[in-house]
Chain A
């Protein structure tokens, strides 16, 4: 019984971490149809921001819930203005440019902070299930993932910005003829996606080894989740995270974490063969 609870918690935490690390990428992909290859570095910048803020004496909650998203979000806007805006309509070149950006960020961070692991202590204690001990931070991450989904849904559903975003998602040309400036929407999207990645990076800071190259550890899963989910931001993300998180944790429990990842990947490739546009391309067409 205890082990069932522990495995259940593992599955929940697997799904939650997939949701968190993929959300920023999914927002940018859903709106702009590009994959931001510097996504892992945005997570890394979020984590570094939290670590630096905490070591400067800032409260850890403030650091990861406010400072990280704001800093990385502003960085995203700057990147969009200085780089991405020149490449609209050239999807492949945009991806290549963000790859270049990812190398630049890794290189710059290595030059500034060195190639050493830093970290912050986990702010919550632990609790025990029977004979097993686990961290309270895991359920906290799950709650944060749910809150983030609710937030994205509420913004998209109830605000004017969300209305414009949905219009541009469905038909950019039509939205433009109705007076919406897609360039501005894309700028805001990139900023929002970066801010969400910054938040995820901040939240992962207490449970990750923080090095300039840490992004590489997350992007494989984030890419699979977003590609498997398709272009619908919310339902694509939730369905793919749910499916892949479940498969990954069960496979990891039965074999090893690495084989869990391999099995996750193989199931994703089979899914892509069956549903080339991702889960949401088939089942949640036109939904958020």
Chain B
């Protein structure tokens, strides 16, 4: 019964959110729409880590690798093809292949959490250095110059599938990104409720026991890692589409840290949590950016330490547990309350 209950809430919430996305352009101005678009793209990235860490138990510190690869794959493909539809497909395929290769080595190597976190973080740093060094005419894929630390400017933004002359307006791009966020959320929700989802949660809880029940933890973990890579790559494509620009800073340490902070603040083991955490932090960083005294990474670091020490479960699970405790107490304590009164 609670499962159906949760899914119903998710569906109703998503329907309301979808209506909100559709009518938002009527109420807020263009600048805010652009702002919301990038928030939504980042929230998809947050979902990718929320899924693989919160449900798959894979501690990936370098989720930006897949985000950045997706972004670069989109940019290069969109410039070469002049059409965004195959570019989006490539923005998902390239990170998935990369996740499969990397995941094979580290998951099948059977390394511990600590190693996995460190290796994935190192990957993102190496990619940063690698892409940074691609300045010059030598480094180009097709007609797209990688541009090194200058990045790739003027990336074609998303057009209607099949008609590359019909470019989406900022409002349409917002609706697409907002609906994509809801679709990814629901998709992951259904995946978690499926047999596959139950198996990966079982593996997260006790890998040996799951293995003894006949499930190979390695292949399930690898698939989870690849799904996370696909979602992050898709988010990368939407992110490039927002600014029509991509640069190597997309692989930098600051963003890797932020994704972790989104999930920590929002809460591991939920999907709504990472979205909330992402929106809160993005808003906060934007606010900090408008003044000069305090440095953004100082605040972000302090927030991360504070949550790890004081609210290790994150906002969403803490609130959920609190509400659940109140509900169960109000049910079982009715008699006592009556006596008191």
Report B30 CB to chain A, min CB distance, Å.
32
Q: With A107-B296, A273-B108, A276-B109 in contact, is A91–B114 under 8 Å at CB?
A: yes
Partner of B110, one of A83, A106, A223, A276: A276
Sorting the interface of chain A by its residue count into under 10, 10 to 19, 20 to 34 or 35 or more gives 35 or more
Q: Does A80 contact B (CB under 8 A)?
A: no
Report B148 CB to chain A, min CB distance, Å.
10
Q: Does A86 contact B (CB under 8 A)?
A: yes
Do residues A261 and B298 form an inter-chain contact, with CB atoms below 8 A?
no
Kindly supply a per-residue 1/0 record for chain A positions 75-108, scoring 1 wherever the CB is within 8 Å of any chain B CB and 0 otherwise.
Answer: 0000000010011001111011101111111111
Do residues B298 and A269 form an inter-chain contact, with CB atoms below 8 A?
no
Q: Does A247 contact B (CB under 8 A)?
A: no
Report B257 CB to chain A, min CB distance, Å.
6
Q: With A100-B308, A220-B125, A256-B133 in contact, is A108–B115 under 8 Å at CB?
A: no
Residues on A with beta carbons closer than 8 Å to the beta carbon of B122:
219-220, 223-224, 265
Interface of B is mostly: helix
Which chain A residue has the least Cβ–Cβ distance from B59? A92
Q: Does A110 contact B (CB under 8 A)?
A: yes
Do residues B114 and A34 form an inter-chain contact, with CB atoms below 8 A?
yes
Q: With A33-B114, A223-B122, A270-B105 in contact, is A262–B130 under 8 Å at CB?
A: yes
Q: With A92-B59, A265-B123 in contact, is A227–B115 under 8 Å at CB?
A: yes
A95, A100, A105, most chain B CB atoms within 10 A: A100
Which chain B residue has the least Cβ–Cβ distance from A213? B253
Kindly supply a per-residue 1/0 record for chain B positions 107-129, scoring 1 wherever the CB is within 8 Å of any chain A CB and 0 otherwise.
Answer: 01111011101110111011001
Q: How far is the CA of A219 from the CA of B125 in the complex (A)?
A: 9
Residues on A with beta carbons closer than 8 Å to the beta carbon of B244:
none
Residues on A with beta carbons closer than 8 Å to the beta carbon of B123:
265
Q: Does A111 contact B (CB under 8 A)?
A: yes
Q: Does B160 contact A (CB under 8 A)?
A: no
User: Which stretch, B20-28, B175-183, B299-307, touches the partner chain A?
Assistant: B299-307
Partner of A258, one of B114, B121, B129, B260: B129
Q: Does B286 contact A (CB under 8 A)?
A: no
**How many residues on B have C-beta within 8 angstroms of the other chain's C-beta atoms?**
45
Do residues A100 and B301 form an inter-chain contact, with CB atoms below 8 A?
yes
Residues on A with beta carbons closer than 8 Å to the beta carbon of B304:
96-97, 99-100, 103
Q: Does B294 contact A (CB under 8 A)?
A: yes
Q: With A35-B117, A93-B308 in contact, is A107–B102 under 8 Å at CB?
A: no
Report B45 CB to chain A, min CB distance, Å.
18
Q: How far is the CA of A276 from the CA of B132 in the complex (A)?
A: 30
Interface of A is mostly: helix
Residues on B with beta carbons closer than 8 Å to the beta carbon of A261:
126, 129-130
Do residues B130 and A99 form an inter-chain contact, with CB atoms below 8 A?
no
Q: With A107-B296, A216-B253 in contact, is A101–B114 under 8 Å at CB?
A: no
Q: How far is the CA of A269 from the CA of B304 in the complex (A)?
A: 29
Q: Does B212 contact A (CB under 8 A)?
A: no
Query: Which of A111-128 touch B at CB < 8 Å?
Result: 111
Residues on A with beta carbons closer than 8 Å to the beta carbon of B252:
216
Partner of B295, one of A93, A111, A265: A111
B111, B122, B132, B296, most chain A CB atoms within 10 A: B122
Report B14 CB to chain A, min CB distance, Å.
30
Which chain A residue has the least Cβ–Cβ distance from B301? A103
Do residues B305 and A100 form an inter-chain contact, with CB atoms below 8 A?
yes
Q: Does B197 contact A (CB under 8 A)?
A: no
Residues on A with beta carbons closer than 8 Å to the beta carbon of B105:
269-270, 272-273
Do residues A227 and B119 form an inter-chain contact, with CB atoms below 8 A?
yes
Do residues B111 and A276 form an inter-chain contact, with CB atoms below 8 A?
yes
Do residues B305 and A95 form an inter-chain contact, with CB atoms below 8 A?
no
Q: Does B99 contact A (CB under 8 A)?
A: no
Do residues B126 and A106 form an inter-chain contact, with CB atoms below 8 A?
no
Partner of A96, one of B115, B296, B308: B308
Residues on B with beta carbons closer than 8 Å to the beta carbon of A90:
312
Please list the residues of chain B having a beta carbon within 8 angstroms of any beta carbon in chain A. Answer: 59, 61, 102, 105-106, 108-111, 113-115, 117-119, 121-123, 125-126, 129-130, 132-133, 252-253, 257, 260, 264, 293-305, 308-309, 312
For the complex of A and B, list the 6 residue pairs with the smallest distance between their C-beta atoms, beginning with the closest: A107-B298, A103-B301, A100-B304, A104-B301, A107-B295, A100-B305
Q: What are 23 of the A-B contact pairs (CB < 8 Å)?
A: A35-B118, A37-B121, A95-B114, A97-B308, A99-B301, A99-B304, A100-B300, A100-B303, A104-B301, A110-B297, A111-B295, A216-B125, A220-B126, A223-B118, A259-B130, A261-B130, A262-B129, A265-B126, A269-B119, A270-B105, A272-B105, A272-B115, A273-B105
